[in-house]
Each structure stands twice: as structure tokens, then as C-alpha cells.
Amino acid sequence: MSKKERKLSRRAEKQPAMVLKPVALVKNDAREPGMRDWSRVFSELVFEREFVNALDGLEDFSHIIVIFWMHLFAGQERIPLKTHPQMRTELPLVGIFATRSPIRPNPLGIAVAQMLERKGNVLRVKGLDAVDGTPVVDVKPYFPGAPDDHVKVPDWVNKLQRHTLKMSI
């Protein structure tokens, strides 16, 4: 182990333990993950009562970012380092971090969902790609970013998007 690696290792040992606790649970009709038109899925995010005041003002946003724990994929012994996106072999084999695969070292999901309404500790949203019972780790308001013409993606992403568009028509 190099001097730099030992220093990084000691720094990591001094860090507090990483602990995530759910702030809400997803309630919807999606019982299992899989290919579906998530843009048509309506969900409720039911927050723990202790967080009800933390939601104040969120109803003024049209969209929110939902960060969730993909619990159905947690605890896998062996995580592949490479995969074909959406397990489609006609697409290139790429590193797991270059995909949105749920099978990853830390199965965190992130999605932008349309905010429909807030009632007390419940947010009603549309387009969240999480199944019923999924623990929500955090929510954030969505702020529009830079223009899309500055975003670069590999060709296989465009192919997937065209495929998804054809399926939804």
C-alpha cells in the first residue's frame, strides 16, 4: 500500500458511519420493477409525521427530485462491473456507473417527478419510477438546469430514448 493509499485509508476510518433512514415510503400500484411507462404512474410519498414541517413550500414547485433506496436490489453479494443497458445485448457493454441499472454497489435511485399536490405529510406525484413500498431517502425541489444542447450522451442513449418514444405512442 502506497503512502497516499494509507493516508486515504486513515481518513476513511475517521469518517462517521454512513447512515440513511427513510423519510417517506412510496405508495402506488407498481408491485415490481420492470419496463413500463412510468410517466403514467401516480404515486404518493407518505412522509413520517416528524417531517411534515420540512415539506412547507415544496408545493410551490411543479417538479421535485426524489432520492430513494431500491430495496429490491439491496444486499446483492456480487455486483457486476459491466452490463448492457437495460440488459439489451444489441447495446454496448458498459461500466455499471455509465447506466441507470438498479444493480449497483449502493442501490440509490434518483428521479424527477411531477408534483401534483400536497396534503399534510403526503405528496402526490406523477412519473416516479419506484415501486410500492420503496423507501424515500430525500426530496429536493427541481430547478431547471443548463440548456440541453450542452449535454453530451453516447449514441446508445439516443437509441434507447427513440425506442421508449416508439413504445409510448
Domain with 144 in it: what CATH number? 2.40.30.70
> Does the pLDDT at position 145 exceed 80?
no
Cβ contacts of 65 within 8 Å, gap of 6 or more: 110, 111, 112, 113, 139, 140, 141, 142
Separation of alpha carbons 129 and 110, rounded Å? 9
pTM for the full model? 0.76
Residue 135: the pLDDT is 96
Q: Whole domain around residue 157: which residue ranges?
A: 20-168
Q: Is residue 10 part of a domain?
A: no
Q: Is residue 132 part of a domain?
A: yes
What tens digit of pLDDT does each residue of 99-129 get? 888 878 888 999 999 999 999 999 999 999 9
Nearest to 136 by CA among 29, 39, 44, 30: 44
Q: Is residue 12 part of a domain?
A: no
Q: Is residue 13 part of a domain?
A: no
Are the beta carbons of 111 and 130 closer than 8 angstroms? yes
Confidence of residue 17 (pLDDT cuts 50, 70, 90): confident
Most confident range, picked from 2-6, 8-12, 51-55, 81-85? 51-55
Q: What angle do CA 31, 33, 37 make, to 5 degrees?
A: 95
Separation of alpha carbons 88 and 142, rounded Å? 31
Are the beta carbons of 113 and 128 closer than 8 angstroms? yes
Q: Is residue 145 part of a domain?
A: yes
Q: Is residue 162 part of a domain?
A: yes
Q: Is residue 1 part of a domain?
A: no
Are the beta carbons of 127 and 109 closer than 8 angstroms? no
Q: Is residue 68 part of a domain?
A: yes
Number of domains in the chain: 1
Q: Where are the alpha helices (DSSP H) in 15-147?
A: none
| Start-to-end C-alpha separation, the chain | 56
